[in-house]
Structure 1
Amino acid sequence: MLHTTANRRHPSDPPAWRRRAGWGRAALACWLVLAACLQTVHAEDGYDLWLRYAPVEAEVAADYRARLAQVVAPATNPTQRSARDELVRGLGDLLGSAPAQADAPGGAGALLVGTPASLPAIRRLRLELDSLGEEGYLIRSVDVGGNAATVVAANSDTGALYGAFHLLRLVQARQPIDALDLREAPKVRLRVLNHWDDLDRYVERGYSGQSIWDWHRLPDWLDPRYTDYARANASIGINGTVLNNVNANAQILTAPYIEKVAALAGVMRPYGIRVYVSARFSAPMEIGGLDTADPLDPAVRRWWQAKADEIYARVPDFGGFLVKANSEGQPGPQDFGRTHADGANMLAEVLAPYGGIVMWRAFVYSDEEPDDRHKQAYTEFVPHDGEFRDNVLVQVKNGAIDFQPREPFHPLFGAMPKTPLMMEFQITKEYLGFATHLVYLGPMYEEVLRADTHARGAGSTVAKVVDGSLEGHALSGIAGVANIGTDRNWSGSHFDQANWYVFGRMAWDPYLDARAIADEWARMTFTADPAFVEPVVEMMMTSHQAAVDYMTPLGLHHLMGRGHHYGPAPWVEGGPRADWTSVYFHRATKEGIGFDRTTSGSDAVSQYAPPVAEVFNDPARVPEDFLLWFHHRKWNDRTASGRAVWDELVHRYSRGVGQVARMRDTWSGLDEYVDPERHHQVDRFLAIQQKEAKWWRDASIAYFQTFSGLPLPEGEAPPPQSLEYYKSLEFPNAPGNTQ
């Protein structure tokens, strides 16, 4: 079990009333009956995530026990102990009894876990491990002294820990382990969660409670939840965590907070996780007493060098800095007439002696209205390709606007061959229904990673850019904006755990299949019964397209409520910036709808390689999921289905609502396979999603019909309320409201 704290009394523990006088045998008998019933229907709250280690079937367990009867693993340091303890705990829960522990294999069924340096029995096997690097591992069925055994071997203790989790995953999924020969190594070097957590525990765009980092009680109180967090991340290969919001507070760099960061680093270290912080570029002025933060100023450079020295003195394996600069009002080098490369390189220089990394975000747009926000990152960064130091990653969102329900891949991918580019995905569903909408993000991640940039001809996928293989970069990374909080189930809903899980698995290997990962997660999180797994995986795989349909069909984008981003608001206009409004992006008129980014419009298409630009530029060839992203089309123009644009738009809105209804029906019929507590919450959240999907459909159709002036297609129900009603709705207390 994932729990490390005794914060719940087990139903069989003696309650206080049993110690009071006056209660007889009858009362005790009633209690014992009640306790037995409670044990039978033991509630699950989701805290254990995919590490539930629920018992496997008796006949299957017997076979596993015979092959994994004994764990032979060193435990001389915290990482080794973590691997050994995980296997003993996991196999004990899965198989009904814990394997024996030994210093050397003896008899059949030995499980050897470690490195050639840490375990002589592994050294004697003379396994080929060099190609696995520092984090890879091998899992193989071997013969040891004439007895069948299993070995999990690596070049490092962290690699062995990853291998231990992989072996447990095989058992959870009821995979055969009698003839194993697996070799795994991460294809991406940095696999990082970005926490948008403020120091007061508010989580920007987080929908699962407060920040798990209790800064006020740190460094003296280390919540056991931190260890559970580290375990969960290690189980899917995540090796870094950025502790604070990209909209950074300079206080994180003061001595008291460095002590707190060091305490968290100590918890993460045994699980192969480095900590990073988001650095505020103007910190030398705000906490350093300087009158400038100019990256070329010698005093500024000395201040940052001293700060790096201070951090590494407390956190020797500190990962480095994440920086948001010159975006949405955040300070940056441009405030001092310098470039992004100037700013990033100054920080990279002070971190380089310690092996630290700078992750410099490419999500930039100026306070002045640009001609097309889609184009600005490309305009600002491409001229500086090749100018960044070797320990700088430019962190690029998957699309050019801002984590919309669906975006074409960012044009920077493939446009900066001399610079390592780090993918930034969003795990928290800021634009996809928060925590209450079931939207599995695996298909979206897969769609982006498999997109072909044509940077070096056909086959130059985004995945190859991100993992460094396309241009031969040694430094590579994938980041995910986390939705992890103090909610008991970590992510606000049970199915949002799948997005944390699939992010980690695809960060390890961007070429993995989203459906296979969904299958894996469902088996570990709920049950391995195919009668449950197959319909649930199908439901998960259709959920992203459903959300796109009922929110932003045909390439529409940025239609959400102002500030809090909750619910439909395609009518939003006015305010300090045009590109903070919905009307700026959909551009609906009586003639048509869509943003013209073709060569005759904003010309954003020309930021892509010619083969991609030609497709996006042509309304007959562009994928219809991006039709209105790149083209302004007349309401009566025909789409691939033969329907007019207006009719296709309405059809997709309704299709999305219908798919949510089918998801809800599917889940309703699976109650016998899931504990009542989790089944009930998912059912209620699906009811919310169905209601809100219909709200998106009705409000959007009511609004856009005022431009099209066309009747609804035959069989389509009209919105039940007036447009004025939908526009009157206000949500001042919606999660994440920034107004």
Structure 2
Amino acid sequence: MRFIILLLLSMISYGSFADDGYRLWLKYDRIQNETLRKNYAQKLASVSVNFSDETAKVTVSEIEKATSGLLGIKSKTLSNTAQATLVLKVGKIENENPEAFEIKSSKNQTVIISNTSKGVLYGVFELIRRMQTSESLENLKITSAPKIQLRMLNHWDNNNGTIERGYAGMSMWKWYELPERIDSRYIDYARANASIGINGTVLNNVNASARFITPEYLGKVKALADAFRPYGIKVFLSINFASPKILGGLKTADPLDPEVKHWWKSKADEVYKLIPDFGGFVVKANSEGEPGPMDFGRTHKDGANMLAEAIAPHNGLIIWRAFVYNFDPKGDRFAAAYNEFKRFDGEFLPNIIIQVKNGPIDFQVREPISPLFGAMEKTPVSMEFQLTQEYLGWATHWVYEGPMFEEVLKTDTHAKGKGSTVAKVIDGEVFKYPITSMIGVANTGSDRNWTGHPMAQANWYALGRMAWNPELTSEKIADEWVKMTFQSDSKSSETIKKIMLESREIYTNYTNPLGVHHVMGEGHHFGPEPWVEKAPRPDWTALYYHRADSIGIGFDRTEKGSNSLGQYHPDLRSKYSDINTIQPEFLLWFHHAPWTHKLQNGKTVWDEMVTRYYEGVKSVEKMQKEWATMEGKIDSETFENVEARLKTQYKEALWWRDASVLYFQKYSKMPVPSPYQKSTRTLEELKGLVDVYHVR
């Protein structure tokens, strides 16, 4: 008997407990602090609900899950509000935002009230979050409302089950089972999104198959919409602009053709008859081979407005992506989106929002902000971040993206004077946008832990929290996520948080120091290939961007170069235009800097680049050592998973360092500075590794 008891105790200890990551940050494991647990239990002993829709059911269900797991109690449901310790109420509050909520607590009762049932659900998740992070529930007086209206995930999933730029398995959407079977994973996905305020999801790839808007697939989409609706989530679809030809048999998809207009209007009517609260269409047009209005001599304005007219009677949105760049070997891809869309500012219909990537190129490790964020005064622009780590080491490198999001959102556009940050642009404060939006390209897949790398779950969490409130700091969000996910002791939590907050800069140092950009593998976008000089188009090569030669390195975007800097407000332009005062992180984005140019720290460009490459690798070693201290402090499965990935990260960081330094040394002709040692591998050996990673 004693042996059995000891065995059971060992099974529930942190050192042996296996956690596959499926529960994400909604881990409702028993709170160990007995005083806190008893206090919370008293406040959630009984529940009263004054509304009875589908959202009420899932809200009560969530409370039951949380109280059972965190507190070990079963809350009683009471009809008498006065006797309940927790009151959930739909009623009028001072903040008119339909998703806003208030939480007020007295000695004997906590009340969560909102204008809508969806708002109450958000309030319940806020209360649960406070319990998970060991915060007091005494004398609460909280009012919370999202600063951004549409907070959304874009899934780049295909109908064959694959995911473009997906590193966590296959698609979660089992199209072959829908609409008859709703996988329980869809409900858990909806719960996770609702817990961080995400209220929209695009189900399919922006490189869209027209098949998604056929009756066959619309029935499947309806099934998902029905499953997500109680959690306040609307579904959207990416569309193929040539659908009238592909599906309708028309001779053209010209947006000004009457037959084409009629076809899209009929298609919109069909969609909304099936799904009355359908969100709208996302469009990638005339970009990277996708069809669009320019195929017919029309403009993006013509295409977007035609679709907006078709969907307007149903209060639907057209989300038109600004990721468009022309085939111009003498141009600068940096300037493409601004050149294409700025001229139409104010000419788009009111139910159109232009979706803009955070930077002007393509989700690089660090980018200056897209100039469009300070330029589109009359047309709403949406922020597009990428959660899936296409350029950030896929699922083998630990990169917490919160600091990246924060850096972008806090950047001042100066569009309407000092303080016109990107956050204030996209939340509508600067230009008074009627529609506001922030989206993240989803990093979820069929892997049991959702995101491949366990720590990448934090990026999904951060996107939702910052979309609700762009003023939140990445440190605050990391603190929440660590406490909710690991429920570890305070010292361990601080260690994990420290690694998270440093991880993005570490990755930047060993891959893209001083603003070197777009030097990853061509096509697959993994690993270093700064030597790529030939590709289907010049702006898919590395040489197009780094422009290394015997003089120096970097892309000159000043007046002497492409003058893309001219797209920024003068106050922001001046921040980047002087090679002597620009912050080092953006140096090579805007200047072709001589190898011998002295930075403000006294080092040459070459010496600083090499230093960052080498120190980045050393920092991964430090990450490994710090993570090793977590053994026995968190569940064994997560510990071992991350431990193994850090070993891979270290190996690949060395690859990045050695390949980059040896390649650029061909141009600089300068030695590796002391105390660093030149790699014992040759450049040809390192180039050979590319073939190994092509099969990933």
Normalised by the shorter chain, which TM-score bucket?
over 0.9
Residue 52 (structure 1) aligned with residue 24 (structure 2):
no
Counterpart Cα distance in 2 of 1:669 and 1:299? 66
Residue in 2 that maps onto 1:301: 261
- Summarize deviations over 1:197-218 as a string: whole Å, max 9, x none: 0110110001000000011111
Residue in 2 that maps onto 1:524: 484
- Summarize deviations over 1:682-729 as a string: whole Å, max 9, x none: 111111111111111111001011110111111112112001111122
Counterpart Cα distance in 1 of 2:519 and 2:185? 37
Residue in 2 that maps onto 1:457: 417
Residue 599 (structure 1) aligned with residue 599 (structure 2):
no
Alignment-mate amino acid for residue 643 of structure 2: D
Q: 1:71 aligns with which of 47, 50, 72?
A: 47
Superposed, 1:462-611 pairs within 5 Å as 462-611=422-571
Counterpart Cα distance in 1 of 2:641 and 2:74? 33
Q: Give the 3-state SS of the residue equivalent to 2:304 in structure 1.
A: helix
Residue in 1 that maps onto 2:306: 346
Residue in 1 that maps onto 2:105: 141
Asked whether the 8 Å contact 2:286–2:294 carries over to 1, the reply is yes
Asked whether the 8 Å contact 2:513–2:612 carries over to 1, the reply is yes
Residue in 1 that maps onto 2:140: 180
Counterpart Cα distance in 2 of 1:262 and 1:421? 28
Residue 159 (structure 1) aligned with residue 114 (structure 2):
no
Q: 2:639 aligns with which of 663, 672, 679?
A: 679
Alignment-mate amino acid for residue 653 of structure 2: A
Alignment-mate amino acid for residue 136 of structure 1: A
Shift of 1:85: 0.9
Q: 1:82 aligns with which of 48, 58, 67?
A: 58
Shift of 1:559: 0.6
Residue 635 (structure 1) aligned with residue 631 (structure 2):
no
Residue in 1 that maps onto 2:70: 94
Counterpart Cα distance in 2 of 1:606 and 1:54? 54
Residue in 2 that maps onto 1:129: 93
Counterpart Cα distance in 1 of 2:328 and 2:554? 22
Give the alignment's TM-score, normalised by structure 1: 0.92
Counterpart Cα distance in 2 of 1:238 and 1:480? 10
Shift of 1:290: 0.4
Asked whether the 8 Å contact 2:51–2:90 carries over to 1, the reply is no
Residue 435 (structure 1) aligned with residue 399 (structure 2):
no
Residue in 1 that maps onto 2:323: 363
Counterpart Cα distance in 2 of 1:179 and 1:559? 54
Asked whether the 8 Å contact 1:234–1:272 carries over to 2, the reply is yes
Residue in 2 that maps onto 1:14: none
Counterpart Cα distance in 1 of 2:10 and 2:414? 61
Residue in 2 that maps onto 1:385: 345
Counterpart Cα distance in 1 of 2:391 and 2:342? 28
**Which deviates more, 617-626 or 245-254?**
617-626
Counterpart Cα distance in 1 of 2:360 and 2:633? 42
Counterpart Cα distance in 2 of 1:402 and 1:370? 19
Counterpart Cα distance in 1 of 2:217 and 2:587? 48
**Which deviates more, 551-560 or 610-619?**
610-619
Counterpart Cα distance in 2 of 1:39 and 1:614? 59
- Summarize deviations over 1:293-352 as a string: whole Å, max 9, x none: 111111000000000010011111000000000110111111111111111111111111
Q: Give the 3-state SS of the residue equivalent to 1:710 in structure 2.
A: coil
Structure-2 change in CA distance of 1:612 and 1:668 (3 Å): same
- Summarize deviations over 1:400-432 as a string: whole Å, max 9, x none: 000000000001111110110000000001001
Residue in 2 that maps onto 1:111: 86
Gaps of 5+ in 2: none
Shift of 1:55: 1.1
Q: 1:411 aligns with which of 359, 371, 383?
A: 371
Give the alignment's TM-score, normalised by structure 2: 0.97
Q: 2:18 aligns with which of 43, 52, 56?
A: 43
Shift of 1:32: 8.9
Counterpart Cα distance in 2 of 1:308 and 1:520? 41
Alignment-mate amino acid for residue 432 of structure 2: G
Q: 1:225 aligns with which of 170, 185, 188?
A: 185
Asked whether the 8 Å contact 1:111–1:150 carries over to 2, the reply is yes
Asked whether the 8 Å contact 1:329–1:367 carries over to 2, the reply is no
Structure-2 change in CA distance of 1:734 and 1:270 (3 Å): farther
Counterpart Cα distance in 2 of 1:723 and 1:556? 19
Shift of 1:148: 1.7
Shift of 1:731: 3.7
Alignment RMSD (CA, Å): 1.6
Structure-2 change in CA distance of 1:340 and 1:110 (3 Å): same
Asked whether the 8 Å contact 2:50–2:90 carries over to 1, the reply is no
Alignment-mate amino acid for residue 126 of structure 2: H
Superposed, 1:655-666 pairs within 5 Å as 655-666=615-626
Counterpart Cα distance in 2 of 1:529 and 1:132? 40
Counterpart Cα distance in 2 of 1:680 and 1:305? 54
Alignment: residue pair count: 693
Counterpart Cα distance in 1 of 2:109 and 2:12? 36
Alignment-mate amino acid for residue 48 of structure 2: V
Gaps of 5+ in 1: 1-25, 117-127
- Summarize deviations over 1:154-194 as a string: whole Å, max 9, x none: 00000000000000000000000111011000000100100
Alignment-mate amino acid for residue 551 of structure 2: E
Q: 2:248 aligns with which of 256, 272, 288?
A: 288
Alignment-mate amino acid for residue 137 of structure 1: F
Alignment-mate amino acid for residue 564 of structure 2: A
Q: Give the 3-state SS of the residue equivalent to 1:251 in structure 2.
A: helix
Counterpart Cα distance in 1 of 2:430 and 2:527? 40
Shift of 1:88: 1.6
Counterpart Cα distance in 2 of 1:577 and 1:181? 57
Q: Give the 3-state SS of the residue equivalent to 1:584 in structure 2.
A: helix
Asked whether the 8 Å contact 1:173–1:528 carries over to 2, the reply is no
Residue in 1 that maps onto 2:174: 214
Shift of 1:529: 2.1
Residue in 2 that maps onto 1:722: 682
Alignment-mate amino acid for residue 675 of structure 1: D
Q: Give the 3-state SS of the residue equivalent to 2:109 in structure 1.
A: strand
Q: Give the 3-state SS of the residue equivalent to 2:418 in structure 1.
A: coil
**Which deviates more, 614-623 or 225-234?**
614-623
Counterpart Cα distance in 1 of 2:316 and 2:372? 24
Asked whether the 8 Å contact 1:132–1:154 carries over to 2, the reply is no
Q: 1:193 aligns with which of 148, 153, 156?
A: 153
Shift of 1:74: 4.4
Shift of 1:537: 1.1
Shift of 1:67: 2.1
Asked whether the 8 Å contact 1:130–1:155 carries over to 2, the reply is no
Residue in 1 that maps onto 2:662: 702
